[in-house]
Homo-oligomer: A and B are copies of this chain.
Amino acid sequence: MSERLDDLKLRLAQLSDLAHAMALAHWDQQTMMPTRGGEARAESLATLTSITHEMFVDDETGRMLEGATAELNGAGGGPDGDSDDARLIALVRRQWDKARRVPTELAAELARAASIGQEAWITARANSDFESFAPYLEHNFELARRYVDCHMSSGDYACGYDVLLDDYEPRMPSTEVSDLFAQLKAELVPLIATVTAASPVDDAPLHVEFPVDDQRRLVREVVALMGFDDAGWRLDDTVHPFATRIGGGDVRITTRWDEHFFPYGAMHECGHGLYEAGLPPAQRRSPLGTAESLGLHESQSRLWENMVGRGRPFATVLAPRIAALGGDELSPLDADTLYRAVNVVRPSFIRVEADEATYALHIILRFELEQALIDGTLTVRELPEAWNARFKDYFGLEVTNDADGVLQDVHWSAGLIGYFPTYALGNLIAGQLWERARAELSGLDAEIAEGRLGSLREWLRQHVHQYGSKFTTKELLIREAGGPVSVTPFTNYLKAKLGDVYGIDL
């Protein structure tokens, strides 16, 4: 009956099996692999990428797509735009058209260079040695430009950067991002100025040292409240934390440990993990069963990390547990003190440690620099200087060490160029979803204060996770959050919180 559609689904399932192997290889490289294993890993990933690419782009996939479309039209007298099958075909058709333009050799080299680049970055960051890293970065940007060149004649993209951004945030042109970021900056800059001029908030709890083994126990407790389940999840150590799903029933999150600690990083990754765990089980080996965009993905991590984790209700759960770890230095620690301490606004060097108000400035800086690197107005050699100058401008801080500057993030080393904006989009989407969830879930604050996080998790599963890639991010937000990505819910949320924390009107 629907033979072509079944053929297509089988091929997509096999591509998903290859993605499983690659996800595992990436996870292992960042958590387990001995350092000398990097070269062989890069070769293996390059070959898996070639094979995946060739299997996907070949003419047979095109014929399956044509056949499946015809079947769908025949069966219902026209494609039902909202059926899973119609959505699947549309999604795959778009990805196939894009992938067809990329030579296999380039796809493989992108994978190989990403894998090699990460190993070089780990060493370079440890030694704050940009010089040793520059050739890898140049190669990655050169490859990104070659990738861009494959797509420009399609007429689908207004500029080279949009080609890259589209891989992470499908259908979102950089002009839209720039508009949103301009609105965001216009709100944040005066907000930061006001808050940093207000009476300082006591953040002593942030400076207490905690034994890492105690931290591990607390993190295990917190992620268990969120929905982490030993039978289907792992939590491991890494240099640059991430979350991934290897396959059905196999979600892996990672964290790093610091003597000055709070469990928010692990909550962030667990938020990503809950999205992955909540994807539709019936679409387990289908592109429909994957996350739609990184902005949406990041909305889940940021919502759990910031709206829940750093919110006043959850401080009631955390404060006694953290006080118990901190010994004499922190006992007693009341929830209000903790809540205020972890929401202090202070410009600082490291993006992943930034507060919610200054965070977006870190992203805007990277977004602007990568656009310049791609359009050729900036070279890799000029990058540290450009970074430091812009950093001074945005944060008023002098970068004296590339490890705290241009070398702090893994992304560019791994070929993830055009990826950063999705983090700030995630904050905005989190603001929208949080506003909606609170309106719909009466008693949510009280539940959170008791450590009961199930209603919220279920709400997110119902309204976001279960759709996988069936809807675009814009469609999903219009259906489930009242409109496309917007700045206001996030800035309203932030003003309310910081007004409360600093005891001022915002």
Point out residues on A near B: beta carbons under 8 Å.
13-14, 17-18, 20-22, 24-25, 28, 32-41, 43-44, 46-48, 50-51, 230-234, 246-251, 284-285
Name the one of B14, B37, B39, B40 contacting A47, with C-beta atoms under 8 angstroms: B14
List the B side residues contacting A232 at CB < 8 Å. Answer: 34-37
What distance in Å separates the Cβ of A276 from its nearest Cβ neighbour in chain B? 12
Q: Which residue of B lies closest to A232 (CB)?
A: B36
Known: A34-B230, A36-B231. 18 other contacts (CB 8 A): A17-B43, A17-B46, A17-B47, A18-B51, A24-B28, A32-B32, A34-B231, A34-B249, A34-B250, A36-B249, A37-B246, A38-B249, A39-B249, A40-B246, A40-B285, A43-B247, A43-B285, A51-B51
Name the one of B14, B20, B43, B233 contacting A40, with C-beta atoms under 8 angstroms: B20
List the B side residues contacting A234 at CB < 8 Å. Answer: 32, 34
Q: Which residue of B lies closest to A230 (CB)?
A: B34
What distance in Å separates the Cβ of A476 from its nearest Cβ neighbour in chain B? 25
What distance in Å separates the Cβ of A97 from its nearest Cβ neighbour in chain B? 24
Name the one of B25, B34, B247 contacting A21, with C-beta atoms under 8 angstroms: B25
What distance in Å separates the Cβ of A50 from its nearest Cβ neighbour in chain B? 8
Given contacts A24-B25, A250-B41, contact A17 B48 (CB under 8 A): yes
Q: Which residue of B lies closest to A38 (CB)?
A: B249
Please tell me if the beta carbons of B40 and A247 are within 8 angstroms of each other in the complex.
yes
Please tell me if the beta carbons of A21 and B35 are within 8 angstroms of each other in the complex.
no
List the B side residues contacting A13 at CB < 8 Å. Answer: 43, 47
What distance in Å separates the Cβ of A230 from its nearest Cβ neighbour in chain B? 7
Please tell me if the beta carbons of B285 and A36 are within 8 angstroms of each other in the complex.
no
CA distance A341 to B313 in the complex (A): 61
CA distance A231 to B249 in the complex (A): 31
CA distance A262 to B21 in the complex (A): 36
List the B side residues contacting A39 at CB < 8 Å. Answer: 248-249
List the B side residues contacting A24 at CB < 8 Å. Answer: 21, 24-25, 28
Q: Which residue of B lies closest to A40 (CB)?
A: B247
CA distance A36 to B250 in the complex (A): 7
Chain A contact residues, majority secondary structure: helix
Given contacts A17-B47, A28-B24, contact A41 B247 (CB under 8 A): yes
* CB pairs A–B below 8 angstroms (14 shown): A21-B22, A21-B48, A24-B28, A32-B234, A33-B250, A34-B230, A34-B251, A35-B249, A37-B232, A37-B248, A37-B249, A38-B249, A40-B250, A43-B247
What 7 pairs across the A-B complex have the smallest Cβ distances?
A40-B247, A36-B249, A37-B250, A17-B47, A20-B44, A36-B232, A17-B44
CA distance A421 to B503 in the complex (A): 77
CA distance A34 to B247 in the complex (A): 11
List the B side residues contacting A285 at CB < 8 Å. Answer: 40, 43
CA distance A247 to B43 in the complex (A): 10
CA distance A21 to B29 in the complex (A): 12
Most buried by B among A13, A36, A231: A36
List the B side residues contacting A231 at CB < 8 Å. Answer: 34-36
List the B side residues contacting A41 at CB < 8 Å. Answer: 20, 246-247, 250
Please tell me if the beta carbons of B32 and A44 are within 8 angstroms of each other in the complex.
no
List the B side residues contacting A48 at CB < 8 Å. Answer: 17-18, 21
CA distance A251 to B251 in the complex (A): 25
CA distance A247 to B25 in the complex (A): 12
Please tell me if the beta carbons of A34 and B248 are within 8 angstroms of each other in the complex.
no
Please tell me if the beta carbons of B284 and A40 are within 8 angstroms of each other in the complex.
yes
List the B side residues contacting A36 at CB < 8 Å. Answer: 231-232, 248-250
Please tell me if the beta carbons of B18 and A47 are within 8 angstroms of each other in the complex.
yes
Q: Which residue of B lies closest to A34 (CB)?
A: B232
List the B side residues contacting A46 at CB < 8 Å. Answer: 17
List the B side residues contacting A20 at CB < 8 Å. Answer: 40-41, 43-44
CA distance A14 to B105 in the complex (A): 13
Name the one of B22, B51, B233 contacting A34, with C-beta atoms under 8 angstroms: B233
Q: Which residue of B lies closest to A22 (CB)?
A: B21
Q: Which residue of B lies closest to A43 (CB)?
A: B17
Q: Which residue of B lies closest to A251 (CB)?
A: B34
Most buried by B among A21, A47, A248: A21
Q: Which residue of B lies closest to A51 (CB)?
A: B51
List the B side residues contacting A284 at CB < 8 Å. Answer: 40
Q: Which residue of B lies closest to A20 (CB)?
A: B44
List the B side residues contacting A28 at CB < 8 Å. Answer: 24, 28
What distance in Å separates the Cβ of A351 from its nearest Cβ neighbour in chain B? 29
